[in-house]
A and B are shown apart, each in its own frame.
Chain A
Amino acid sequence: MTTTAPALVDYDDVVARYEPTLGLEVHVELSTSTKMFCGCPTDFGAEPNTQVCPTCLGLPGSLPVVNQAAVEAAIRIGLALNCSIAPWGRFARKNYFYPDMPKNFQTSQYDEPIAVDGWMDVTLEDGEVVRVGIERAHMEEDTGKSLHVGGAAGRIHGAEYSLLDYNRAGVPLIEIVTKMIPGTGERAPEVARAYVTQLRDLIKSLGVSDVRMDQGSMRCDVNLSLSPTGSGVLGTRTETKNVNSLRSVERAVRHEMQRQAGVLDGGGAIVQETRHFEEQSGTTRPGRRKETSEDYRYFPEPDLVPIAPSAEWVEELRGTLPELPWEHRKRIQEAWGLSDEELRDLVNAGALELIEATVAAGAPAGEARSWWVAYLAQQANTRGVELAELPITPAQVARVIALVGAGDLNNKLARQVVDGVLAGEGEPDEVVESRGLKVVSDDGALIAAVDEALAAQPDVVEKIKGGKVQAAGAIVGAVMKATKGQADAKRVRELIIERCS
């Protein structure tokens, strides 16, 4: 920690006297099958340096070739963000010495990005809409992973040497940069989080990335500056890196506002620098100084020819854009009659898509919802996994619901069928078969069980005969017990009344 860091200013006090200006840079790793410029796989978690070739290792004589699927993904992201698609553009070399790129440069786009000048309307929790301008979205490649040995906890300070794995080097990346976002005031942290959340949902809906912030397939840098309210003078900005969760985006903005206000209040100046977000403390610490490290000497990449998407190709890709996720949700909300809060709970629990898929497999919405948010949510909770990670598919849930609807299962049996599926015993019908879980509604078997129960409780029979129909409950219970819960309770009740009259 810096020894003379000024105290943080109380948040309400910051927003009373300063106006924040935000800027967000988001990197998205595409989920193409191969890398940006070579045919190496992009699988997460492979053994180190097993997904490499001469091209991504920068060996002499190798030449890159652009992955068409990555360009299509970049164009679709650009279109979804209301950008113009550049009719012609080149890649550029960003030169720097750092062993995370064995080529000693990163292939990127510099002054000719593929998508420019768009926007996204970001809706806050209370319904307020903030339009965030998109400056650009460009294509580049990811870097390798460094492991620092000898320092404390893998950190670079005190490290004796570093170990490099280039599996990730060359994986396609799209960098999405917002325009400056002024005027958000006290809501700046909330706006930043909502923007990144919506961007994540949007890109997920395009199916071009799994956008997992926890696995680094989506990463966010936060630019922030403060200016005294009403001064109209833009302050010096800092860039905070390593912001790896939605919650951290919000915390990083808030902390940087409080920290910068402290520096300014003390008569100090903000240093234009890269800062690192500390997940544990929610604070930022200084990193590289910008002015010395940004001399990247960009120049057009001679090994790759320009990309010139035709208007027809762009329009064809526009035709592949799905319904926007927030519009889709609105439609579902209306169709299912959900309150804002109910919808939010479903989204946060990751249940919305599962319920939709269950409905698409033929289940009524109400029952699909009830299964996922109640019994299945409980099971996920017990196992400590996400709902989507449960080993049961929406189609299987829909089948269970159909069996209940047809009277073949009651709710208690249905839960046992689900347990069987979760335990890996196969499809719902197989579990019904192997566990013998079908509802018994065959009169022959039920009459025998009813008569037996009636014979065992003659006093209850007297009560029913005397008109106390509700006393039948005791007999229903006995029959259910005798049939291990597999009797059709409604039919049992009918039979009891019949037999006693």
Chain B
Amino acid sequence: MSPDSGAISRDEVAHLARLARLAVTDAELDVFAGQLDVILGAVARVGEVAADDIPPTSHAVPLQNVFRPDVRRPGLSQEQALAGAPAAEEGRFRVPRILGEEQ
């Protein structure tokens, strides 16, 4: 999936869709492949400006070592924690059957 290679394939879009748990139709695969290509092309232009002496930036603000002391702070009650859950049971979040294996 190198941005330099130009075209992004349908297979790559299908793979990304699966990782993102998105149901994408065959027709959409073609549309998205074209659109993603344009986006990647635009991003690749940044690479033309950034020379080897410019390290990739992950953080906009030059801060480091921001820590907090190991001190407890009040959190949520069980009721509050589950308040936004579509389903709950026995004080736990209830989720649909998990496909695949245990992590």
Contact = CB atoms under 8 A, between A and B. Distances in A.
Contact of B64 (A34, A96, A98, A306): A306
Interface residues of A, number: 64
Contacts of B65: 305-309
Interface of B: 15, 19, 21, 58-59, 61, 63-78, 81-82, 84, 89-98, 100-103
A156 B76 contact: no
Given A54-B76, A146-B98, A307 B64 contact: yes
A295 B19 contact: yes
Contacts of B78: 47-50
A165 B92 contact: yes
A404 B86 CA distance: 67
Contact of A52 (B61, B67, B76): B76
A434 interface: no
Question: Which secondary structure dominates chain A's binding surface?
Answer: loop
In this complex, the member of B72, B73, B81, B91 whose beta carbon has the largest number of chain A beta carbons within 10 angstroms is B81
Interface of A: 32-34, 38-41, 47-54, 57, 59, 65-71, 88, 90, 95-100, 102, 143, 146-150, 156, 159-166, 274, 276, 287-288, 293, 295, 297, 299-300, 302, 304-309
Contacts of A97: 19, 21
B89 A306 contact: no
Given A52-B76, A165-B91, A68 B97 contact: no
Given A33-B72, A149-B89, 6 more contacts: A34-B70, A40-B72, A41-B72, A95-B19, A162-B96, A299-B58
Contacts, number: 145
A71 B69 CA distance: 11
Contact of A48 (B67, B84, B90, B97): B90
Contact of A39 (B21, B66, B68, B93): B68
Contacts of B76: 52-54, 57
B70 A69 contact: yes
A148 B96 CA distance: 10
